[in-house]
Every structure is written in C-alpha cells, then in structure tokens.
C-alpha cells in the first residue's frame, strides 16, 4: 500500500515542481487595500501590474486543493492547450513557444519534469506492465530445450543422409547442417549450456561444443570471465593498463555480482535522477541534424529536444497503462513503435519549416542520433550504477 501512496505523491510532486519552473505569478494573499504584499506596489485592479500577483485571498481547504490541482495540471487551460499540440502538431508548438507564445503553453522544462515524475509514479504503481505473465521461466526453458532437441535430431538425420546422396545433394545437406548447428548453438547459449567465457564468435560457427578459446590480440584487454550461469567470476581480472582503474573496476564488478538486484535498483533510480542528461546529450545532435539551416539558435534546439523527450515519456506512460489494464498488444504496440518516428518528422518539418523531402532526410539522420543519444545515456547510467 505504501507503494501506491508513494506513486501518488511522486505524481503530485512532479506537478508542483513543474509549477515551480513555470513563469507564473505567486498565489494570492490577503493584504491592505491597494497594496501588493509580494512587491509592495500599488494595485489599481485585482492584479498587481508589477508582478502579476492577485490582490485577494482564499484561505480554505478548497483553495489548497485548487492550488494542488493547478500545480499538477499546470494552471487553468495550459495543460489542455499544450498536450493536443504536443501530440499532433509538435512543430507548431515548438515554433510558437520559441517565437514568444510562452504564457499560453506549458514550458518545455515544466512538461519534462512532470513527465519524468509521472513515469516514476506510474511504474512504481504498475511494476513492469510490459512483462508477459503467460510464459513463465520454466515454460521458456522447456520451449528452448525442445527446440534444441529438435535441432539435434535434424542434424543427426541429415548427417546420416550424407552417404546416400550425390555431390550436389551433399553440398545442400552440409549447408543445412551448418545452419542447424548455428541454431543449436544459439539455443545452447540461451540455456547457459555453453560456457559464457568462450569467444562470442564461436556462437556463429558450426564447430562442435565446447568451442576452443580464442586468444586476445595485441592492444586488447581481458574483460572479466563469466561462470556457466552467466554470473561474473570473482577470480577474473580486468586489465585496462591502469592499476588504480583495474582495482576499482574489479571491485565494482564483484559487488555487482554479489548483489545484482542492488545494481538494477541503482540503474532504475539513476534513470529518474539523471533523466535530465538526455537534454544536453540530445541538443548537439539536433544542431548537427539542422546543419545548413540558418536563423536557429541552441535555445531553439533545446526547446525542440525537451518537448520531444517529454512527449516520448508521456507516450511510453500511456502505452504502459494500456498494457497494464489488459489492452491487446496489437493495439498499443504499433503506436509505441510507429508513432515516435512520425512525431519526430512532424516536429522537424513544422518547427524548422522544412519541405517534405528535406524533412524525411533530416528525420532519418535524427533517428540515428536518437539511437546514439540513448546509448550514451545508458552508458552513463551503467557507469554510475557500477562505480557509484
């Protein structure tokens, strides 16, 4: 039950933090007639012309909940004006915000903070909604073992047929046997029947098990060996050429092997804490994507990247909720896979006023940069999780 309260609190906290970074006036306070208690300026109407704070006050429980709801939903109609544009016309939203329409819409950073905290709340409440409960670990192992045995039977059958066919038939059979051995080897790796420390290239060969150990080439360093069950061998060593780094990395790997659940928890926690790193990582790649287009500054690229990341987070949350309530994969999976590229295309085209062909070409480049950005972010998380 505490997880549910924690999730609800995280969602409210995200809304209030988002409210804190919005360029808005403070809450109303009762004060002397004609004087603003925020900046002490003289007020002629209901709002201060200097700071924008309302003159009158509402000191009730209803007013408190009103403030909380405004914090979560980002004030009046800003939420409902921003989300539809972000979902369907992200380029128009980006361009209008950059050009000065900032009081009408939620700021990129406020929306980003809200989406990250909402994601934390949703996944704290739902757990892992994308995990399938239909297939257990035992069922998976049995299925892999069955396929592996079928591959072995086919290899034996085709090997017995080699002496009964001509040269052309033998060539085809050998190719089929080689392909079956590769399939068998991959299945063996999945069930930990092959020693993990064997060279990864051996998995793609047709050699019989166990595979020969492949020596390391010059200027290569040895990474930690693994046990048969895939865990790190505590006696393995890493050699990077630096004694201090070798010691630190080996100790970190031993800790990760001793408590992998702690490492997973660190990765998850760091993912929320350092999600903001996606923005500085992404902005240079947006700039590279728009090389050759004059009149745009890094601020414009930052608004583009922040709105895009916020939308992808909200889309991921939406699909996670659909999966959690039992909506079939055929309905939400295409949305999660196909809509992000289309969204990036629309945002690029309308935010930077590109033609269709130019927008398609630059979108393809952007997709590659998105993959690179995600990889860099995951490397940072893994480094923080292992060495932190």
pLDDT tier for residue 230 given thresholds of 50, 70 and 90 = very low
Instruction: Choose the weakest-confidence range: 46-55, 165-174, 230-239, 244-253.
Output: 230-239
298: pLDDT strictly greater than 60: yes
Give the Cα separation of 198 and 214 in Å (integer): 8
pLDDT tier for residue 241 given thresholds of 50, 70 and 90 = low
Give the Cα separation of 147 and 194 in Å (integer): 16
Give the Cα separation of 119 and 273 in Å (integer): 12
* Closest to 193 measured CA to CA, from 144, 242, 237: 144
* More confident site: 20 or 98: 98
96: pLDDT strictly greater than 80: yes
* More confident site: 135 or 87: 87
DSSP 103: S
Give the Cα separation of 385 and 264 in Å (integer): 8
- pLDDT value of position 333: 92
pLDDT tier for residue 28 given thresholds of 50, 70 and 90 = very low
24: pLDDT strictly greater than 70: no
- pLDDT value of position 17: 55
The residue length of the chain stands at 388
- pLDDT value of position 265: 80
Instruction: Choose the weakest-confidence range: 68-77, 136-145, 210-219, 274-283.
Output: 210-219
Highest mean pLDDT among 25-39, 147-161, 232-246, 359-373: 359-373
For residue 210, whether the previous peptide bond is cis, meaning omega lies within 30 degrees of 0, is yes
Helix runs in the chain, H state only: 2-21, 61-73, 78-88, 90-98, 108-126, 137-160, 167-190, 243-258, 260-273, 278-289, 298-324, 329-351, 356-387
For the stretch 147-167, pLDDT in tens is: 777 888 888 888 888 878 888
190: pLDDT strictly greater than 50: yes
9: pLDDT strictly greater than 60: no
For the stretch 111-140, pLDDT in tens is: 999 899 899 888 888 876 666 544 454 555
What is the average pLDDT score of the chain? 76
- pLDDT value of position 363: 97
- For residues 162-180, b (16+ Cβ closer than 10 Å) or e, as one string? eeeeeeeeeeebeeebeeb
Instruction: Compute the average pLDDT of residues 357-382.
Output: 95
27: pLDDT strictly greater than 50: no
Percent share of the chain, pLDDT over 70: 67
pTM higher than 0.85 for the full model? no
84: pLDDT strictly greater than 90: yes
- pLDDT value of position 359: 96
Cβ neighbours of 374 (radius 10 Å)? 13
- pLDDT value of position 187: 65
- pLDDT value of position 302: 96
- pLDDT value of position 123: 85
């Amino acid at each position: 039950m505490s997880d549910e309260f924690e999730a609800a609190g995280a969602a409210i906290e995200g809304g209030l933090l988002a409210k804190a970074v919005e360029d808005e006036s403070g809450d109303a306070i009762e004060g002397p007639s004609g004087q603003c208690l925020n900046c002490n300026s003289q007020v002629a109407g209901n709002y201060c012309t200097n700071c924008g704070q309302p003159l009158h006050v509402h000191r009730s429980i209803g007013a408190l909940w009103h403030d909380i709801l405004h914090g979560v939903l980002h004030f009046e109609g800003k939420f409902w004006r921003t989300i539809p544009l972000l979902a369907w016309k992200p380029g128009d939203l980006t361009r209008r915000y950059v050009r000065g329409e900032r009081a009408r819409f939620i700021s990129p950073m406020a929306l980003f903070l809200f989406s990250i905290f909402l994601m934390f709340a949703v996944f704290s409440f739902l757990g892992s909604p994308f995990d399938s409960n239909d297939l257990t670990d035992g069922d998976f192992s049995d299925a892999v073992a069955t396929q592996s045995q079928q591959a072995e039977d086919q290899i034996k059958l085709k090997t017995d047929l080699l002496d009964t066919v001509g040269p052309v038939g033998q060539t085809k059979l050998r190719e089929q046997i080689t392909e079956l051995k590769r399939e068998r080897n991959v299945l063996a790796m999945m069930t930990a029947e092959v020693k993990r420390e064997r060279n990864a290239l051996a998995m793609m060969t047709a050699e019989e098990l166990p595979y020969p150990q492949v020596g390391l080439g010059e200027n290569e360093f040895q990474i930690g060996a693994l046990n048969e069950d895939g865990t790190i061998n505590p006696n393995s060593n890493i050699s990077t050429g630096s004694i201090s780094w070798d010691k630190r990395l080996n100790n970190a790997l031993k800790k990760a092997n001793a408590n992998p659940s702690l490492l997973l928890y660190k990765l998850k926690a760091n993912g929320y804490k350092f999600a903001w790193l996606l923005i500085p990582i992404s902005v240079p790649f947006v700039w590279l994507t728009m090389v050759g287009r004059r009149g745009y500054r890094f601020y414009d690229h930052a608004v583009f990247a922040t709105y895009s990341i916020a939308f992808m987070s909200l889309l991921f949350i939406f699909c996670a909720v659909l999966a959690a309530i039992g909506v079939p994969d055929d309905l939400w999976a295409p949305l999660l896979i196909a809509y992000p590229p289309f969204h990036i295309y629309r945002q690029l085209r309308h935010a930077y006023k590109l033609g269709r062909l130019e927008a398609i070409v630059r979108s393809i480049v952007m997709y590659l940069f998105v993959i690179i950005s995600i990889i860099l972010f995951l490397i940072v998380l893994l480094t923080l999780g292992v060495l932190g």
